[in-house]
Amino acid sequence: MTEVRHDWTKEEISEIYHTPLLDLIYKAATIHRENKDYSEVQISSLISVKTGGCPEDCAYCPQAARFQTGVNVHAILPKNEVVAAAQKAKAGGASRLCMGAAWREVRDNRDFDKVIEMVKAVNELDMEVCCTLGMLNEQQAQRLADAGLYAYNHNLDTSEEDYKRIITTRTYDDRLNTIENVRKAKITVCSGGIIGLGETVEDRISMLKTLSNMAKHPESVPVNALVPVQGTPLADQPRVSVWDMVRMIATARIIMPRTQVRLSAGRTEMSTVEQALCFMAGASSIFAGEKLLTTPNPSFDEDMAMFELLGLTPRKAFKNGRPNQVKEVEETTAY
């Protein structure tokens, strides 16, 4: 079983990242097989429960109110629509539903009350429930935990050094504080980043260092390729190379061996062969369903056909326990 470390240096991570590609994939694949059933993939589905009108200025985001991206602002969805979307996702093979709201932070109001009711309702469908709602305090995190929330997503997006170039309406410490509040509530953490923002390789390595040196590694680390959207400041960014995705996934797998590394946004631009390389390099989770909040994503049918071709199987929900009794992913045993 691979040793779990929390003291990685930038130099060590850089050396791994720059390993000759075939050697890097081989090393990551070996660690992947040592620590879990490599053919098992956790499938999540993502739904926007409140769309557009966000006051933040995230340079990649079509939901920022200050950018003209053609995204229509929608108030929070009724619970029955969310439950119907969850049922559809479950029928398609998903074991987790992630609900996203275009908020800067959670506010203690009726909309948050509605989200709490959504969490309870989806949890009753025997699905893991994840939320991404922006910043939240300790009390709000505990309230989500009490409702049965399984995971909370709060991405770092990029390195601390690069952060102000991408977002000015909150700080890197704001991100880290929210993750700490999630941990205190004993909710599992989903936190990763986006590549293709115009960042340097050093920025990618710095972000991975922050994630891997947390006192407890995130249970899920999404690796997103930027999906450029017209109207955002990053609309003209070139497509991320599959080799960059493979390097990020493989490096994350090596330095965080028990974590679910998620092949996230950008899959619509990837062929089955390219996605297969990512799975070989250590990806063990995907988002499935036609949309990721407001951007396109492969359909469930396409993904199930790919799973059959590659010999992959969907991970069952609650493998590590139910929300009120989640086993902390032991860092001395396989996840």
- Which residues have a catalytic role annotated? 54, 58, 61, 98, 130, 190, 262
Q: Rg of the Cα trace of the chain?
A: 18
Residues facing residue 98 across a β-bridge: 46, 130
Q: Find all residues with CB under 8 Å of 188, minimum gap 6, and list them.
A: 150, 151, 152, 219, 220, 326, 329
Q: For residues 56 and 42, what is the distance between their CA atoms, to the nearest angstrom? A: 30
Q: For residues 45 and 290, what is the distance between their CA atoms, to the nearest angstrom? A: 9
Q: Assign 136 to helix, strand or coil.
A: coil
Q: Find all residues with CB under 8 Å of 123, minimum gap 6, and list them.
A: 129, 147, 148, 149, 150, 323
Q: Find all residues with CB under 8 Å of 27, minimum gap 6, and list them.
A: 16, 19, 250, 254
Q: For residues 95 and 328, what is the distance between their CA atoms, to the nearest angstrom? A: 18
Q: Find where tokens 């930027």 sit.
A: 226
Q: For residues 221 and 153, what is the distance between their CA atoms, to the nearest angstrom? A: 9
Q: What share of the chain is helix, strand, coil (3-state, %, to 5)?
A: 40, 15, 45
Residues facing residue 223 across a β-bridge: 193, 263
Burial degree of 131 (CB within 10 A; 0-12, 13-18, 19+)? buried
